[in-house]
Amino acid sequence: MLMRTDPFREIDRLTQQLLGPGTWSKPSAMPMDAYRDGDVYVIAFDVPGVSKEAIDIDVERNMLTVKAERRPVAKSDQAQMELSERPLGVFSRQIMLADTLDTENIDADYDAGVLTLRIPIAERAKPRKIAIGDGARKQLSS
């Protein structure tokens, strides 16, 4: 038998039970990190216990939507649940992407419960040198 000693974990569990699991119409939040690494923007989502097939990634215009569903693990008929703290249901996150990102070339990887998206910085947004002319303007002929 398991013994619980953290009162805050119990409060979190009760809150989750009151709010219920996330559904497709009202998903729960999904934790994430986002950072720039050179010419790539990286977003990492925590989705432990979710199979790769249960993750859905969409981009419409500049809105990135990530949804994942964690289902209960099949148990035998004789199993008795002693403790259930792992949240189930649908998790989702929507992020407005800047126009400076190349949404046509997003790369997604899933490893050890972390979904990592790599979004390249668009060429038009990268710094570039501007050549300086010699001062003579070309005249248009009429």
pLDDT in tens, 103-132: 999 999 999 999 999 999 987 777 778 888
- Mean local confidence (pLDDT), 48-65: 93
The reported pLDDT for the residue numbered 90 is 87
Dist. CA 57–CA 122, nearest whole Å: 20
Query: How much is the pTM?
Result: 0.70
45 has pLDDT over 70: yes
Is 33:43 a contact under the CB 8 Å cutoff?
yes
Q: What is the pLDDT of residue 70?
A: 86
Distance in angstroms (rounded) separating the CA atoms of residues 65 and 33: 15
Which residue did the predictor score with more confidence, 136 or 13? Answer: 136
